[in-house]
Amino acid sequence: METRRIRNFSIIAHVDHGKSTLADRLLEVTHTVEDRKMRQQLLDNLELERERGITIKLVPVRMNYRSREGVDYVLNLIDTPGHVDFSYEVSRSLAASDGAVLVVDAAQGVEAQTVANAYLAVDQGLAIIPVINKIDLPSAQPDVVRGEIEEVVGIDASEAILASAKEGKGIGEILEAIVSLVPAPSGRRESPLQALIFDSVYDNYKGVICYVRVFNGVVRTGQAVTFMATGLNYQIEEIGVFRPQMEPVEELGAGEVGYVVANIKSLTEAHVGDTVTDSRAPAQSPLPGYRKIKPVVFCGFYPIEREDYPQLREALEKLQLNDSSLFFEPETSTALGFGFRCGFLGLLHMDIAKERLQREFDVELVATAPNVVYHILRTDGEIQEIHNPADLPEISRVEEIREPLIRITTFVPTDYVGKTMQLCQDRRGAFVSMDYITPERVRLVYDLPLAEFIIDFHDRLKSVTRGYASLDYEQRGFQAADLVKVDVLLNEEPVDAFSFICHRDASYHRGQTVVRKLKELIPRQLFEIPIQAAVGKRVIVRQNVKPLRKDVLAKCYGGDITRKRKLLEKQKEGKKRMKQIGRVSVPQEAFLAFLDVS
Ligand code: GDP
Ligand code: MG
């Protein structure tokens, strides 16, 4: 394949502005997919994506296109997600592309993620083709939107293409713009092989499949290759392209996008961002790869059945292959047994990971309440990073607790500015700036503790603005705050899974909520059980579960012996599913019910 006939591009946009629909039209017009196989949002393969109507994973696909001048091109399109939690997917797609089609909804205009994603593309030096989509809508205002793209995103939009992905308008212009404005890949076939792994997935038949963009050289079946970061060697078993299903080819040369299958044994050997090179004639240095991404939201995943622990580990490894921003490490809890502490880029990411584990890998699990990562400045001067409130050192050894801060950018109609500011203030937000995008819309910027954001900030924002606000955020490092760890004690014994860290002012209120809920869930036992919330040694909330004299056999007085025996057996069974916290038996169900709703 001649590199000058190749164009690699991504489609980027704010959520719902029409990326996936536009991708469908491009596939149709280029006859990549037969008409009878065409269905809506074809590239959203995951069942979850189709159900929720959102794109979670990047998807590459190769198309053939004959331009109006009669020249044949190969176009590699990478459809990307729009939600902030998945911006790592977007940046990886962009690193495999030379241009980006920026889709903006003609009725909604520029939104928070339009700007964020466009900046990612600008940072990577990509050619950007602005497309104003949904011009079929009666409320479309293409001229206003053109102005917004120029003013807010800061790119020339005089040539922006007016399109309707739904009705198939403007699709030809978009294809022409891609071949004329997106530069051909710059690599050389003659140079040593350098192929960037930009994603990977586990397949039951083929094993690990790596998605690659070849920057230099050629990769062929049978070739001996080295993964530069790990130094491990493999033989290439299969090479192919996405059409969009996998289709084997003989080779992939400089500029091409496709996949490679090698005899990769362990799931942890394929790293996204690694460079594949030729073992016999290796490249001097690897490609830049990706910046390491750090998870900021953590929770525990525990198998519901203890025996499922190994399955959960394997499922996490397989999922991590396809979701390189997922983090996990083993952890044990007195209440829940063996499980994993998992790290995510946000709550939606956590939610999606949990669902994918259950659906794609068939493991039943319970997730503990999420918390953010904390940096603890200890009295010995060291900084300790903790992922679990239970790991907080003795309070006498803690100098300062630092929490992650984010900077949120919201685009809000002027009518809702007051309410949005109020919401930010209630969440310990610090005002940064406000400016008018148009007379009707304002860009509002606040710094906010991430912990306040993950509770339900996005939902609250949607409700106070009736869904008219859009939101994006970026991490802003760590900041000390007056935070305390609240322990929950059952009969004087702390229960690790229930500990949490929060702002001192909120500790009483949150402690009370937890204690009240636990009181409902814990069955009465032979003795009185105090449930307490405490900060250090100071108890801030206390309630009691009243004692009960429970004599199961009393009911069967004079009854037949087999029934008595059955009851005793049943009680024994029940005991097995009880967790012993000191002298208190807590039904497993109580933990699950408690954790699932919090
Ligand atoms: P994505 O989140 O950017 O991938 O957006 P989708 O392609 O999933 O589209 C979001 C919604 O907008 C869907 O309901 C589409 O049917 C609709 N949509 C996409 N393009 C158009 C268009 O040109 N006109 C109209 N009226 N609706 C569109
Ligand atoms: Mg989509």
Cα(584) to ligand 2 centroid in Å equals 50
Distance CA(356)–CA(210), nearest Å, equals 20
Residue to mutate (ligand 1; options 14, 16, 84; most atoms within 8 A of CB): 16
Ligand 1 site, residue 25, Cβ cutoff 6 A: no
Q: What percent of the chain has pLDDT over 70?
A: 88
Pairing of strands 72-79, 6-13: parallel
Q: Which residues contact 73 (CB under 8 A, 6 or more apart)?
A: 5, 6, 7, 64, 65, 66, 67, 179
- Judge if the beta carbon of residue 137 lies within 6 A of ligand 1: yes
Annotated binding residues for GTP: 16-21, 133-136
C-alpha 133 – ligand 1 centre gap (Å):
9
Is pLDDT at 9 greater than 70 in this prediction?
Answer: yes
Give whole-number Cα distances, 516 to 87, 390, 542, in Å.
39, 21, 9
- The amino acid at residue 241 is V
For position 570, what pLDDT does the model report? 56
Distance 321 CA to ligand 2 centre (A): 21
Tens of pLDDT, residues 415-434:
999 999 999 999 999 999 99
- pTM value is 0.81
Q: How far, in Å, from the CA of 162 to the mean position of ligand 1? A: 14
H or E element in which residue 239 lies: strand 232-242
Which residue, by CA, sits nearest to atom 14 of ligand 1?
16
For the cut 60, the answer to whether the pLDDT of residue 558 exceeds it is: no
20 lines ligand 1 (CB under 6 A): yes
**Token pair of 376 as six digits:** 């603890």
Residue 595 pLDDT class (50, 70, 90 cuts): low
Which range of 231-245, 354-368, 582-596 scores highest in mean pLDDT? It is 231-245
Nearest CA to 446 out of 419, 415, 424 is that of 424
Ligand 1 atom 17: the closest Cα is on which residue? 18
CB of residue 200 inside a 6 A radius of ligand 1: no
Which range in 265-269, 559-563, 594-598 is most confidently predicted, on average pLDDT? 265-269
Specify the residue with its C-alpha closest to ligand 1, atom 11.
16
Residue 370 CA to residue 454 CA, distance in Å, equals 8
**Which residues neighbour 119 within 8 Å (Cβ) at sequence distance 6 or greater?**
none
* Beta carbon of 56 within 6 Å of any ligand 1 atom: no
Residue 15's contacts (CB-CB under 8 Å, 6 or more residues apart) are: 54, 82, 83, 113
Q: Tell me the residue type at 285.
A: S
What is the identity of the amino acid at 571? Q
Neighbours of 73 (CB within 10 A): 19
Looking from the CA of residue 17, the nearest atom of ligand 1 is 3
Query: Does ligand 1 lie within 6 Å of residue 134's CB atom?
Result: yes
Within 467-575, strands assigned E span 470-480, 483-490, 493-494, 500-503, 529-535, 538-545
Ligand 1 pocket member 16 (CB < 6 A): yes
Q: How much distance in Å is there from the Cα of 53 to the middle of ligand 1? A: 10
Annotated binding-site members: 16-21, 133-136
Q: Determine whether the shortest distance from the Cβ of 481 to ligand 1 is under 6 A.
A: no
Residue 18 CB less than 6 A away from ligand 1: yes
Residue 45 CA to ligand 1 centre (angstroms): 17
For residue 566, name the pLDDT band (cuts at 50, 70, 90): low
| 59 ligand 1 Cβ < 6 A | no
φ, ψ for residue 179 (rounded to 5)?
-70, -30
Q: H or E segment at 329?
A: strand 327-333
Q: Please write the tens of the pLDDT for every residue from 211-254.
A: 999 999 999 999 999 999 889 999 999 999 998 888 999 999 99
Average pLDDT over residues 353-360: 88
- 166 alpha carbon to ligand 1 midpoint, in Å? 7
